[in-house]
Amino acid sequence: TILSYDRSKEPKKSKQKENTSITWGISNSLKTKSPDIIYHKGDIGKEPMILIFGKNPDDVIRKVSKLRPYH
């Protein structure tokens, strides 16, 4: 499951406080289901990011390997 969130919809209060943006985005994404991947395309002053979740490092590598053909 791949989920994303829109940084432009992040509340101003969260954008202005350091280290709260990712927490807001993940919490916002998890309202629907447990993902394998969460990503966002960034916003002004916020870099794009991809988070890949797995049971262990090998699980994360397996998931990344599945993405390579789409690159």
Say how far apart CA 52 and CA 26 lie, in whole Å. 12
Task: Give residue 20's pLDDT band: very low, low, confident or very high (50, 70, 90).
Answer: confident
> Does the structure show a pLDDT above 70 at 70?
no
- What are the residues whose beta carbons fall under 8 Å from the beta carbon of 28, sequence distance 6 or more? 5
CATH number of the domain that residue 41 is part of: 3.40.225.10
Task: Give how many domains the chain has, as a whole number.
Answer: 1
Question: Token pair for residue 1?
Answer: 């499951």
* Structural domain boundaries enclosing 7: 2-70
Q: Which residues does residue 59 pair with via DSSP β-bridges, in sequence order?
A: none
- pLDDT tens column, 22-64: 888 888 777 767 788 888 898 888 889 899 999 999 999 999 9
